[in-house]
């Protein structure tokens, strides 16, 4: 097999630390497996003294299979595993843990949900809140933050601390440990028991780490202790593909590796074997805008080139229609749907496209669970208003919306299973200002009965003050109101084709049914076009890649405010671009939900002129740069 000089240099590196900067498509798995074989054959290292760490079980299994093939089927006792599997092996030997000791995800959710229910906080979307709290608990443990010094982003601080304490108490009482405990316990074991650390240092004299850019602080400290004075630490990664800060990954660890190991060798794998030159060059111009990175120049090995296409559309319908047309065109030209992908910044963004692909019968699979906007709690609020206007008098319906926005009407005003608006007004006890609120509600409900769904949503938002509720909710929850407003925008847009509430709700049921069928197909077998988030596309590659919705607020996401956030967003876009082998289509829209939308700054940084579809607003010379 032909290897380039940088690959040869990495594979034949002997003892001591080394950092391999492996650009996209540069053969990092090849380097790790060949180096492992080389340690055994050239340096006569005992296979059982070699540890290869990856971040996922699937990656570890694939790495082991490739190594076994390289060794012609001869099974050498090299350890391939994830950080968690390695740490658990160490804890198992020290404390006698078994598989039964590991907290299962389902039970973890149950404990957190029960803990949350015992607080006085009532989130609108319980599942969303639980997911955010779970992520924050992991961050507190992974960064070893004192609980009293941590300020929650997802809920009131006292609620987070109460849930955290309840969760930890339950773990101690049941003798369970979660995945984060595997790190913290292993770190404490090595720090306090140098004799046990010495045993494992002798056991694993040579350590190789894949995807090093995704490592967190605690994992790194444990690995450094394990490497010991010999420091036979061989790390492979790409700082330009560090996109998991929200999971605790610290890109600065890779950037500081050479300071931690001054004698380390640094090797750059600078040849991309995956993508055509135009993709490599455009992606290079983009990522070159980041300041916190290793400066590097990546070259494409492939000679035949196809230009990267950047397209500007008037709006989402035109963008989606043209992407559908191109998918069908490529398929007719002989490219399997499985070799095509649509990459979005969030898992909510592809809803309209998925709906359209179902309608035109283009098969697709979803790497990430596509949320059903019709199951969002905001949709539930809007529908409840419309159902009450249509005649519902269920107590539960009124309790859901009566203080969204706040009308200062107590739950005690609804003692009966069926609500009488006349009785509700009488219960106000002659307080004119409260009676006026009920009269206003009655008037608003009467107005809704005269409207089609699209107009009704607009009236609920603007005329009934629902947007004011959203703003106060976002402030209380410390979340960006833009995301919640985007749900309202998309919901209102989806209602436009329908003349009645019944027709719209029938569409919701049919869409939900088809979405479930699509999810089931994806679980059974991954077929068709891949619809993924940019995060979910990491490590994958396709002949044809589409990156739609390349607008400010979408990518970079509106949440990205700090320089570090923007640099990570740029890395994420870089990852998406470099999934493309041959054809890369990037597109943005001029208008979204009747509001002008600027193109993403990343489009400008790529430096390619867009193909403008439709009639551009004003003269081209006057258009915003």
Following DSSP, what letter does each residue of 121-167 receive, concatenated? ---SSHHHHHHHHHHHHHHHHHTT--GGG---SSS-HHHHHHHHHHH
CB neighbour class for 280 (10 Å; exposed up to 12, middle 13-18, buried from 19): buried
Distance CA 241, CA 295 (A): 14
Q: Nearest 5°: phi and psi at 364?
A: -150, 160
User: Model confidence over 140-156: pLDDT tens digits?
Assistant: 888 888 998 898 888 88
What percent of the chain clears pLDDT 70, i.e. is strictly above it? 97
Query: What pLDDT does 625 receive?
Result: 37
User: Model confidence over 539-570: pLDDT tens digits?
Assistant: 999 999 999 999 999 999 988 888 999 999 99
Packing angle of the helix pair 157-174, 126-142 (nearest 10 deg): 70
CB neighbour class for 302 (10 Å; exposed up to 12, middle 13-18, buried from 19): middle
Query: What pLDDT does 227 receive?
Result: 96
Cβ atoms within 10 A of the Cβ of 527, count?
14
Question: Encoding tokens for residue 327?
Answer: 């998918």
pLDDT confidence of 2, banded at 50, 70, 90? confident
Q: Which of 511, 218, 534 is nearest to 345 (CA)?
A: 534
Query: What pLDDT does 126 receive?
Result: 82
What percent of the chain clears pLDDT 90, i.e. is strictly above it? 71
Length of the chain: 625
Distance CA 542, CA 275 (A): 10
User: Model confidence over 109-145: pLDDT tens digits?
Assistant: 999 999 998 888 877 778 878 888 998 998 888 888 8
Distance CA 625, CA 561 (A): 21
Strands 595-596 and 591-592: antiparallel
Which residues are within 8 A (CB) of 40 and not within 5 positions of it... i.e. 6 or more apart? 47, 50, 76, 78
Strands 340-344 and 364-366: unpaired
Residue 51's DSSP bridge partners are: 79, 207
User: Model confidence over 390-417: pLDDT tens digits?
Assistant: 999 999 999 999 999 999 888 889 999 9
Following DSSP, what letter does each residue of 193-220 receive, concatenated? -HHHHHHHHHH--EEEESSGGG--HHHH
User: Model confidence over 353-386: pLDDT tens digits?
Assistant: 988 898 898 989 887 667 788 989 999 999 999 9
User: At residue 623, does pLDDT exceed 80?
Assistant: no
Residue 583's DSSP bridge partners are: 544
Cβ-contact 370, 351 below 8 angstroms: yes
User: Model confidence over 149-204: pLDDT tens digits?
Assistant: 898 888 888 999 999 999 999 999 999 999 999 999 999 999 999 999 999 999 99
Q: Nearest 5°: phi and psi at 616?
A: -65, 145
CB neighbour class for 430 (10 Å; exposed up to 12, middle 13-18, buried from 19): exposed
Query: What pLDDT does 443 receive?
Result: 95
What does the buried/exposed string (b/e) look like for 438-475 if buried means 16 or more CB atoms within 10 Å of the residue's CB? beebeebbebbeebbbbebbebbbeebbbbebbeebbe
Cβ atoms within 10 A of the Cβ of 304, count?
7
Query: What pLDDT does 11 receive?
Result: 97
Distance CA 375, CA 383 (A): 11
Query: What pLDDT does 533 receive?
Result: 93
Which residues are within 8 A (CB) of 282 and not within 5 positions of it... i.e. 6 or more apart? 308, 577, 584, 606, 607, 608
**CA 329 from centre of chain:** 30
User: Model confidence over 291-311: pLDDT tens digits?
Assistant: 999 999 999 999 889 999 999
Cβ-contact 417, 388 below 8 angstroms: no
Query: What pLDDT does 123 receive?
Result: 78
Packing angle of the helix pair 179-192, 83-95 (nearest 10 deg): 60
CA dihedral of residues 415, 419, 423, 426 (deg, nearest 10) = 70
User: At residue 248, does pLDDT exceed 90?
Assistant: no
User: Model confidence over 461-504: pLDDT tens digits?
Assistant: 999 999 999 999 888 776 778 888 988 999 999 999 999 999 99
pLDDT confidence of 514, banded at 50, 70, 90? confident
59-68, 474-483, 600-609: segment of lowest average pLDDT: 474-483
Residue 341's DSSP bridge partners are: 530, 545
């Amino acid at each position: 097999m032909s290897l380039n000089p940088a690959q040869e240099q990495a594979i034949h590196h002997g003892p001591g630390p080394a950092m391999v900067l492996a650009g996209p498509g540069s053969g990092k798995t090849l380097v790790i497996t060949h180096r492992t074989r080389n340690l055994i054959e050239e340096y006569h290292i005992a296979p059982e003294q070699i540890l290869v760490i990856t971040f996922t079980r699937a990656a570890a299994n694939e790495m082991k299979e490739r190594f076994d093939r390289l060794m012609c089927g001869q099974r050498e006792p090299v350890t391939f595993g994830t950080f968690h599997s390695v740490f658990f092996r160490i804890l198992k030997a020290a404390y006698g843990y078994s598989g039964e000791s590991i907290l299962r995800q389902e039970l973890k959710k149950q404990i957190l949900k029960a803990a949350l229910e015992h607080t006085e906080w009532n989130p609108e979307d319980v599942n969303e809140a639980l997911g955010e709290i779970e992520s924050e608990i992991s961050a507190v443990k992974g960064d070893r933050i004192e609980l009293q010094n941590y300020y929650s982003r997802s809920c009131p601080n006292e609620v987070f601390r109460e849930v955290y304490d309840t969760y930890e108490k339950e773990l101690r009482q049941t003798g369970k440990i979660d995945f984060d405990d595997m790190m913290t316990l292993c770190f404490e074991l090595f720090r306090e028991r140098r004799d046990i650390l010495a045993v494992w240092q002798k056991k694993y004299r040579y350590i190789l780490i894949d995807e090093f850019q995704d490592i967190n602080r605690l994992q790194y400290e444990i690995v450094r202790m394990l490497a010991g004075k010999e420091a036979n630490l061989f790390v492979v990664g790409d700082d330009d593909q560090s996109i998991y800060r929200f999971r605790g990954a610290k890109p600065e660890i890779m950037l500081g590796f050479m300071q931690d190991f001054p004698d380390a060798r640094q090797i750059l794998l600078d040849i991309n074997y995956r993508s055509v030159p135009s993709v490599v060059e455009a992606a290079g111009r983009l990522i070159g805008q980041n300041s916190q990175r290793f400066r590097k120049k990546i070259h494409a090995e492939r000679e035949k080139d196809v230009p990267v296409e950047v397209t500007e559309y008037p709006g989402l319908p035109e963008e989606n229609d043209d992407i559908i047309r191109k998918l069908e065109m490529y398929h007719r030209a002989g490219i399997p749907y499985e070799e095509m992908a649509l990459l979005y910044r969030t898992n909510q963004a592809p809803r309209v496209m998925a709906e359209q692909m179902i309608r035109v019968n283009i098969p697709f699979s979803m790497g990430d669970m596509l949320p059903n906007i019709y199951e969002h709690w905001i949709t539930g609020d809007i529908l409840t208003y419309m159902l009450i206007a249509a005649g519902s008098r269920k107590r539960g319906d009124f309790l859901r919306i009566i203080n969204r926005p706040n009308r200062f009407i107590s739950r005690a005003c609804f003692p009966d299973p069926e609500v009488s608006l006349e009785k509700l007004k009488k219960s106000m006890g002659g307080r004119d200002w409260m009676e006026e609120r009920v009269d206003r509600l009655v008037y608003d409900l009467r107005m809704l009965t005269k409207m089609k769904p699209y107009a009704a949503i607009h009236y609920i938002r603007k005329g009934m003050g629902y947007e004011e509720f959203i703003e106060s909710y976002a402030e209380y929850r410390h979340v960006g109101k833009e995301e919640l407003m985007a749900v309202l925008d998309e919901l209102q847009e989806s209602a436009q084709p329908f003349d009645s509430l019944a027709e719209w709700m029938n569409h919701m049921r049919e869409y939900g049914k088809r979405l479930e069928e699509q999810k089931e197909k994806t679980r059974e077998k991954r077929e068709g076009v891949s619809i993924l988030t940019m995060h979910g596309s990491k490590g994958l590659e396709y002949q044809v890649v589409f990156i739609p919705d390349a607008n400010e607020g979408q990518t970079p996401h509106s949440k990205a405010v700090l320089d570090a956030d923007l640099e990570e967003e740029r890395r994420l876009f870089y990852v998406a671009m470099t999934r493309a082998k041959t054809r890369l289509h990037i597109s943005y829209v001029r208008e979204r939900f009747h509001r002008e939308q600027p193109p993403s700054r990343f489009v400008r940084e790529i430096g390619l002129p867009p193909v403008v579809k439709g009639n551009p607003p004003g003269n081209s010379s006057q258009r915003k740069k």
